[in-house]
Structure 1
C-alpha cells in the first residue's frame, strides 16, 4: 500500500485541528456551524443557478476532491425559512431539475418554491463543519425582463468612456468558448451607435452621452436556458461656469457652486 502523500496528511491535520478547535464550544452534534455565508444567491424564476458550498471558498484550505480523498462526505440540508436555525431536512436530489454535482447544487431551472437556506455539511464519523447559503428566487417586474431589486448599479461620467459588464456569468460559460450574449436596453433590442462596441462579456461606451442612461440587460445562452443580468446606468457630468449637472434616469438636478471671498 502506498503511503499517503504529504499534501493529504497536511490537509487531514488542518481539517482536524480546525474542527476540533470549534467542537469544544459545546455543540450537541459536534458540528462547527459557521452560520449563514455573506454571499447571497439571487436568481430569476425559470433561470438556472449553481449554489456552491461556501466551505470550499473561504472556510477551509481544501477543494472538494481533496476533502473526499481524506474520507470526508458532503451532505446538503434545506430550511424553507430564512432564519438560521430553522428546522432543516436532508435534500433528496431527483437529478432532473435539482441535482448535486461535486461541491454544488444545480437548479435547472430555479423556481419560487426553492427560496430558503441551504446548508452544506462536510463530515466523517468524528468531525463536522457546516455553513448555510441563502437562495432568493424572484419574478420579473410586470412587463419587464428584470426584477428591480436584482439590478446591478453603475455610474458613468459624460464624455468619458465606460464599460458595462455582464456580471456573474462564470458558471454559464463553457471552457475555451466565448459566451453567446445578446444585449438589450430597457428590455428591447437596440441598434448600438458606432461608439458602443460589444466585447466578449461587456458593452464598451467610448463617449458617454445622456441618452445612455437606463437599464442594460445581457442575455446569456446556457444550453436550453437563458440567464439575464441587468445593470442600471446613471450618468453625471460637469459643465462650464461652476455648474454641475447630475443626471439620473432622466431627472436633471442643477447645483450652483458659489465661492465667497472673505
Structure 2
C-alpha cells in the first residue's frame, strides 16, 4: 500500500513538472527601437500578477539562456536583459521566461537597434519624444534611469547636451 501511495505521489509530481514545461505564451506588440553603440536594458514586460518565479532570457528560439556573465556584451543581470553596448545585429526577438514548479510564461519581445543618421548623434526612430509647455516651466526626463541605479540606489552623473549635431571641419581651403 505504501509503495502504491509513493508511486502515485511520484507520478503527480512528474505530471506537474511536465505541465510547468508547457509555457503560456504572449507577444509584446510594441517594438522598442534603441540606438546602436549605446547601453540598452530591457525588463521582462510582466503584468503585476505574472511575477511568480525566476526569470530567464533567451535569444530567438535558442534553448541556451543568455549569459549571466556581466563581462558578456549581451547578458542577463538580475531580471533584466543588458546590451553593453547594443549592436545593429542584436536586433531580433528575445524571450523572457518566468518559471516556477507549477507555472511558466514565455514572453516574446522584439528589439530593434539602429545606427545614428548621417551627421547626427541620433536616429529619429530611437528618439524619446517629450513635450514642454510653451508658457511655464517644464522638465526634461532622461528615460529608463532607474535601471542604472547602483547598489546604494544612487543615479549616475548625467551630462546633458542641447545640440547633438556632428561638425565636419574643412581640412583645406
Q: Verify the 8 A CA contact 2:66 2:74 in the aligned structure 1.
A: no
Query: Which structure exhibits the higher relative contact order, with contacts defined as CA atoms closer than 8 Å and separated by 6 or more residues?
Result: 2
Change (3 A) 1:43 1:153: closer
Q: Distance in 2 between matches of 1:176 and 1:75?
A: 24
Structure with max Cα Rg: 1
Change (3 A) 1:183 1:89: same
After TM superposition, the runs of 4+ consecutive aligned structure 1 residues lying more than 6 A away are none
Residue 89 of structure 1 corresponds to: 62
Residue 177 of structure 1 corresponds to: 154
TM-score (norm 2): 0.67
Q: Distance in 2 between matches of 1:124 and 1:159?
A: 52
Q: Verify the 8 A CA contact 2:36 2:88 in the aligned structure 1.
A: yes
- Residue 86 of structure 2, aligned match among 110, 113, 123: 110
Compute the displacement of 1:153 (Å): 2.6
SS at match of 2:131: strand
Residue 30 of structure 1 corresponds to: 22
Change (3 A) 1:158 1:123: closer
Q: Unaligned regions of 5+ residues in structure 1, if any?
A: 1-15, 24-28, 69-73, 80-87, 189-262
Change (3 A) 1:61 1:121: closer
Change (3 A) 1:59 1:144: farther
| Structure with a larger share of its residues in strand | 1
Change (3 A) 1:158 1:104: closer
When the two chains are superposed, the root-mean-square deviation of aligned CA atoms in Å is 2.9
Q: Unaligned regions of 5+ residues in structure 2, if any?
A: 1-15, 166-173
SS at match of 1:93: coil
Residue 76 of structure 1 corresponds to: 57
Compute the displacement of 1:157 (Å): 4.2
